[in-house]
Amino acid sequence: MPDATKEAGRTVVVGERELAIGFRLIGLQDVVEVTPENSVAEFQRAMSAGFTLVIATQSIRARLSEAQRAAADASLTPLVVFVPTPTGEFEVESIEALAKRVLGVTLSVAG
């Protein structure tokens, strides 16, 4: 796990091997490779480690308890973004839902 004393603006990625390799290849240093057995614990550790942004896979989100999911969805510091699992199904958050969660505003289209 990366050092818990991170300066503002740091991003951590928590995910399966394929995702971890991809983010390491583009130069991100704070990457935590997880297995199904340790994914929830590593995600919770990343949430409390002082990062500004936590990027995690949908498969981790699926393993979280309802309370953990609600806390991650409501969190602004760190902001949590779930990305598709490299090998399978995913759930896409709409722009409207993201704006409501992050900014607290509802988007509507005038027409």
Q: Where are the domains of the chain?
A: 11-103
Residue 104 reports pLDDT greater than 90: no
Arch. (CATH architecture) of 11-103: 3-Layer(aba) Sandwich (3.40)
Query: Which pTM does this prediction carry?
Result: 0.72
Q: Is the peptide bond between 78 and the residue preceding it cis, with omega within 30 degrees of 0?
A: yes
- pLDDT band of residue 94 (cuts 50, 70, 90) is low
pLDDT of residue 9: 83
3-state secondary structure of 93: coil
Q: What per-residue confidence (pLDDT) applies to 93? A: 62
pLDDT band for position 109 (50/70/90)?
Answer: low
Mean pLDDT, range 51-68, rounded to an integer: 95
